[in-house]
Structure formats: structure tokens, C-alpha cells
Amino acid sequence: MLIAPSILSADFANLERDLHRIAGADWAHVDVMDYHFVPNLTLGLPVVEALQRVSPIPLDCHLMIDDPDRWAPAYAEAGAESVTFHIEATADPRKLVKDLHAAGSKACMALKPGTAFAPYEELLDVVDMVLVMTVEPGFGGQSFMADQMPKVREVREAINRRGGQIRIEVDGGVSASTIEQCAEAGADVFVAGSAVYGADNAAASIDQLRDLATACAGHA
Ligand code: DX5
Ligand code: ZN
């Protein structure tokens, strides 16, 4: 069970300080947006390179960008532990996974809420993680979409059927009141932005989320 707070909800004028506020988490989730794939703009490679120099925990880069085939490998070269591309934006996912692995990161494919998993099941042969979005990508602080839980179950069943060590990440609206259903459905990496950075005590909220998810694991 990995907790990955999203720094989208951090203070962008104090990113180093806010990375240290989540030092007890497993990964720092970094949302890269380009004004094209999503109607929002956040940060890009130079900022990720700077974060990599000061982060106490590994970076989990979620690229909500067009043409990840071209742009994503540089995030792996910058030292990100995991790089997530959107399957909707990718021309050649198998080549991209190969390029990410060659550049030294894990490779994750993300599915928007309206994107079905079945057409991409064969990619479980190569990816390290599947991100099931539980909001429309683009903004923090949106409401959790419980209607994505059947997709999480479907991915988990496919992984179990095929064997292998592939993680399932959920992202969007994950909080103390929604994390249990994600864990029950089979997720094992949990992104939480507003739930962690909006809490008075970020460290305590990370521990609470991890405890809730751990208590639910295997109840599927
Ligand atoms: C949304 C981003 C999320 C976002 C989650 O496009 O991918 O990572 O930061 O924020 P919360 O947890 O507030 O929904
Ligand atoms: Zn994200």
C-alpha cells in the first residue's frame, strides 16, 4: 500500500518545504499538465529536475500532456521513480514503455474515466502500473467518481489472471472517506492532493490513509 500525496495541492512558492511535509509518504505525485491534453498548466521538466534534487521521497510523475512518446522519457532521465503517460495521448505505448525503462523509470499507463481498460489489457505484459483516474484529469479538489471502481476490479482481475507484480494507482478525490472502496476494489497506490495538503497535519493524514487502505486490503 503506497501513499502518494499530490503536490498539485502544495504551495507552489514553497515546494521544497511542502515536499518535506510529506516525507513520511511513499512517493510524491507530480502532476504535469500542458494546456493541451487538459485545460490546465502546471509545471514541466525544469521544475521536476529541481524537485528531484531536494525531494526526500521518490517522484511519481503523472504526465497529462499531448505526445508523451516525445516528452516522457526525459522525466525518467531526470530521475523519476515512475512515469505515467495517458494511453489516450500515446501513439506507440509499447515503444514508450521500452524508452522509459531504458531511461531508468517504471512505466505506468493512465486511463481517463471515459476510457475502457479492455482494449489495453495486453499492455499488462509491459507496464509496471495502471493508473485509473477517479476524476476527470486537470484539477485537484474534485469529487471522487465511485463509478470507476468496477474498472479497478477489472484491472485487478486481469493482473491476477496473468500473474506478475503490477500495481494499480487511483488518483482524484481520494480521502479518508473514499480510500477504503479503492483498496477493496484492488488499488494499491493512492494519490491524495487536497486530503493531505488540506489537513492541519499532513503527516497524520498520510498515516491515516495508509492505515485505512491496509485494513481493507484483501477484502475484495
Ligand atoms: C488531477 C490530478 C490529481 C490531483 C488530485 O488531474 O491528476 O493528481 O492532484 O487531487 P485531489 O486529491 O485533490 O483530487
Ligand atoms: Zn495526478
**pLDDT score recorded for residue 57:** 99
CA of 188 to the centre of ligand 1 (A): 17
Q: Give the model confidence (pLDDT) of 147-180 as tens digits.
A: 999 999 999 999 999 998 999 999 999 999 999 9
**pLDDT score recorded for residue 108:** 98
Tell whether the model's pLDDT for residue 118 goes beyond 60. yes
Please tell me the pTM assigned to this model: 0.98
Q: Give the model confidence (pLDDT) of 39-77 as tens digits.
A: 999 999 999 999 999 999 999 999 999 999 999 999 999
Q: Give the model confidence (pLDDT) of 8-46 as tens digits.
A: 999 999 999 999 999 999 999 999 999 999 999 999 999
Ligand nearest to the CA of 62: 2
**pLDDT score recorded for residue 23:** 98
Tell whether the model's pLDDT for residue 114 goes beyond 80. yes
Handedness of CA 161, 114, 149, 76 (dihedral sign): positive
**pLDDT score recorded for residue 217:** 78
- Mutation to probe ligand 1, out of 3, 6, 35, 174 (largest number of atoms < 8 A from CB): 6
**pLDDT score recorded for residue 205:** 98
Q: Say which amino acid occupies 197.
A: Y
Atom of ligand 1 nearest to the CA of 134: 14
**pLDDT score recorded for residue 130:** 98
Q: Whose CA is nearest to atom 4 of ligand 1?
A: 140
CA of 16 to the centre of ligand 2 (A): 19
**pLDDT score recorded for residue 218:** 59
**pLDDT score recorded for residue 105:** 98
Domains and CATH numbers, the chain: 2-219 (3.20.20.70)
Atom of ligand 1 nearest to the CA of 138: 6
CA of 171 to the centre of ligand 2 (A): 6
- Cα(210)–Cα(190) distance, integer angstroms: 9
**Whole-number percent of the chain with pLDDT over 90:** 97
**pLDDT score recorded for residue 29:** 99
Atom of ligand 1 nearest to the CA of 6: 9
What's the chain's average pLDDT? 97
